[in-house]
Chain A
Amino acid sequence: MITEALVLSAVLFVVGTFGVLVRRNSIIMFLCIELQLNAVNLSLVAFSRMWGIDGQIFVFFVMTVAAAEAAVGLAIIISIFRHYETVNVDSFNLLKW
């Protein structure tokens, strides 16, 4: 039972990581990050079946942080969009050497 959950979690995480690395649309990248977070959540829940409630408590923390992050992150993306009229991360290279 736990193996399946962990495998699913791993698959989801890799998908999320891959998405962050290859996509250029910042909204999509943002969603992929959420996917990574939730993959972790899944494994935490799965582990809590074996070792008690701690894992589930962590999940709540992660969800709270994710919600806060989503609020800030989206606000930044909107702000950038107003400036550049695009959400393609390749065009944001102001910090290049």
Chain B
Amino acid sequence: MTASLTALVQGGGQAAAEAGHFEPFLPGLVVLLPLLGFVINGVLALQHARASADAVRGGSELALGDSASRPATHTLPTWVGPGVMLAAFLITLVNFTRMLGAHLEEPVVVHYWTWIATGTFTVDAAIQLDQLSMVMMMVVTGVGFLIHVFSVGYMKEDPGYPRYFAYLNLFVFFMLVLVMGSSYALMFVGWEGVGLCSYLLIGYWFSDREKADAGKKAFIVNRIGDAGFLIAMFLVFSNFGSLDYVPVFHDAEGLAYAGGLVTAITLFFFVGAIGKSAQIPLYVWLPDAMAGPTPVSALIHAATMVTAGVYLVARSSVLFALAPLSSAVVAGIGVFTALFAATIALKQNDIKKVLAYSTVSQLGYMFLGVGVGAYAAGIFHLMTHAFFKALLFMGSGAVIHSMHEAYHATHSHEDPQDMRNMGGLKDAMPITWATMWVATLAIAGIWPFAGFFSKDEIIWQTAAFGGAEGAAYSALYSLYWVIALAAAMLTAFYMTRMMVMTFHGTNRTGEEEKKHLHEAPAVMWVPLAVLAVLSVFGGWVNVPEALRSAWVGGMGILPMSEWLHHWLEPVTLAAHHVQEEHLGELAHSAPFGGGEVLWATISTAAAAVVVLVSLRVVAAQRVVPVAEDETELRGIAKVLYNKYYVDEFYDRVVVQPVVRFSRFCWKVIDAVVIDGVVNAVGWAAKAFGWGVSMFQTGTVNTYAFILTVGVLFILGATLL
């Protein structure tokens, strides 16, 4: 393992020298362990639900007691939930180190059984192990494990503790199916599964109407995107005759460059990605998803599930490289979302809403990356973002936890998530404060934190891609580049604002509450510390040669490498071939001149200036608690505070017409037309019966007469 870690630092090229055969180590268990956790926790949750229902029927309520006397349903998940995640992570680690030692050119597909076989259509239950799925598995199980551990502390007092862990484990299972499946069909299974878990966890406190509605909103908005994913799958199958990655990507190389078919497939896939990864115009569900428990926001709505769209594009890199129009759309939607969401984040007061819009914005950057053909850079940002955004969300969780208990102690009904009620928490929670600052500097793009390298790589690649010899829409990419730089500055501002409002300045919680503020317990702050370390050094695995030799890379002294880029090469190779063939050499200077090092320096310097200036500016602002806040927002501030009124717009344009149409279907089509037809049929049968019953005179002669007439009629008819 030490040798492998050395290889990790020195880059994949070295590992190739000691090339060996890659032998997968129990990959199926990585998927099954979280499922096992789900089953155990699910059974415990059902047991607890029954016990609780019995208690309510008996006229009392089930008390959970203090930590010593908790029932098994509330002690076992503590070990089962994070336990299966740790085991899955360790197995992934073994596989990862083995893959490091082997120079893997082709993906390894581990086949289990044939799941669907109808005619020419077959779907195998098979796992694809390659460099890309390995990175995703490491992020999902690694960050997932830390968040599970954090949840132990965060959800401790919640009566639904086992149910929470059951859902969380199920989510990880589906996420692993999504990233490890060997075909689009399996990816879709995971895709829908994580959507389901997202719905269940957003509406985890379902007795609150607003939270249940947020869950529904997420589910329904995602369906719109899923329709696109389905259509893309149909197109893939009807043209390639398979949904497995290996044959599809192999055949894809024969497709016409910029052809209609490949453009259609990729655009429909991207519609799916827009829904899942919360991009314009389907981003509206993600901020509402903050109704779920905060660790859920960290795991599902920041670190893993929402990045599935980026994974989809990176996985289909060959197809997207063949479709320059689709790539331009991906990059465009991404960069506009990055700017749009960043502006909204400027004026939010709910600490989780700021982070939610920040997530939308950062996802935009990832799409910009994969849109400009820098698939490794997109995945790189996905990885570093998973570190610092999970850290930020869990840090905000620690803050909310503390605020909640403070308000709980004084029976106050103030909002524990509103930053206007916070301020000065630094003294009470120094560890949370310090780790969150690390993440803030990382996301703001300050050297040498992780976010600097990943974000800068994407921005630089945008410039380089737009300036390539054969690049289509060259001017468009220059615009993207400018917007990306601007959005990076906004990121630095809104994150600093959040930190200052939460941790700095005077305390606004109230004198009595202040005494109850406390640092998070070890089970919560240790994951924060681990992620803080990753947020600092996580970016060092992918530093381009140009930067490494300049001051940015510590003149080659710091242990940095371009490892991730080389690592992902076998996956992105085909896409890069396509690019080289049709676009030629990428540019070596930005649209307004200047090389990679210069612009990296400019952007980190600008971000640092923004952070320092906004520290002053925000600290100078007078912030008052929500209860006393009577400021009337005006102009742009009001528009931003109300999120550009997009929700209202959708409500007016989409939701209300659908509701009205449904009401019409109910009141008119169903109640009048359908019920009318059914009632009319019944009424007609009754009327007919009444008419025919007139023949039933009860007199024998009538019957005899009719009989005779009938016989005569039949006789007459036959004779004629």
Contact = CB atoms under 8 A, between A and B. Distances in A.
Given A17-B708, A21-B708, A97 B699 contact: no
A17 B697 CA distance: 20
Interface in B663-709: 693-694, 696-701, 704-705, 708
21 contacts: A20-B701, A21-B701, A29-B700, A89-B699, A89-B700, A89-B701, A90-B699, A90-B701, A92-B698, A92-B699, A92-B700, A93-B698, A94-B698, A95-B696, A95-B698, A96-B696, A96-B698, A97-B694, A97-B696, A97-B697, A97-B698
B714 to A, nearest CB: 15
Nearest to A94: B698
Contacts of B699: 89-90, 92-93, 96
A93 B697 contact: yes
A24 interface: yes
Nearest to B700: A89
A89 B700 CA distance: 7
Interface string A71-97: 000000000000000000110111111
Interface in A15-45: 17, 20-21, 24, 26, 29
Nearest to A26: B700
Interface of B (DSSP majority class): helix
B701 A96 contact: no
B135 to A, nearest CB: 84
A54 to B, nearest CB: 23
A96 B695 CA distance: 9
Contacts of B696: 95-97
B704 A21 contact: yes
A96 B697 contact: yes
A37 to B, nearest CB: 15
A20 B704 contact: yes
Contacts of B700: 26, 29, 89, 92
A94 B699 CA distance: 9
A96 B698 CA distance: 4
A29 B147 CA distance: 99
A96 B696 CA distance: 6
Contacts of A29: 700
Contacts of A17: 708
A59 to B, nearest CB: 22
Contacts of B697: 93, 96-97
Contacts of B708: 17, 21
B235 to A, nearest CB: 66
Interface string A56-69: 00000000000000
Interface of A: 17, 20-21, 24, 26, 29, 89-90, 92-97
Interface of B: 693-694, 696-701, 704-705, 708
A94 B700 CA distance: 11
B7 to A, nearest CB: 98
Nearest to A90: B699
B158 to A, nearest CB: 71
A76 to B, nearest CB: 12
Nearest to B712: A17
A45 B700 CA distance: 31
A97 B692 CA distance: 10
Contacts of A21: 701, 704-705, 708
Contacts of B694: 97
Nearest to A91: B699
B692 to A, nearest CB: 9
A91 to B, nearest CB: 10
B708 to A, nearest CB: 6
Contacts of A93: 697-699
A90 B696 CA distance: 14
Given A17-B708, A89-B700, 15 more contacts: A20-B704, A21-B704, A21-B705, A29-B700, A89-B701, A90-B699, A92-B699, A93-B698, A93-B699, A95-B696, A95-B698, A96-B696, A96-B697, A96-B699, A97-B693
Nearest to B693: A97
A96 to B, nearest CB: 3
Contacts of A20: 701, 704
A92 B701 CA distance: 11
A81 to B, nearest CB: 15
Report the 4 A-B pairs with minimum CB-CB distance, sorted nearest first. Answer: A96-B698, A93-B698, A95-B698, A97-B693
Nearest to A96: B698
B42 to A, nearest CB: 64
A17 B438 CA distance: 113
A71 to B, nearest CB: 19
A20 B702 CA distance: 11
A22 B708 CA distance: 12
B716 to A, nearest CB: 15
A20 B704 CA distance: 8
Nearest to B690: A97
A93 B708 CA distance: 20
A77 to B, nearest CB: 12
A18 to B, nearest CB: 10
B712 to A, nearest CB: 10
Contacts of B705: 21
A21 B693 CA distance: 21
A26 B704 CA distance: 13
B687 to A, nearest CB: 14
B79 to A, nearest CB: 79
Contacts of B704: 20-21
A5 B595 CA distance: 127
Contacts of A89: 699-701
Contacts of A95: 696, 698
A97 B143 CA distance: 82
A95 B699 CA distance: 8
Contacts of B693: 97
Contacts of B698: 92-97
Nearest to B711: A17
B410 to A, nearest CB: 82
Nearest to A23: B701
A95 B708 CA distance: 20
B341 to A, nearest CB: 77
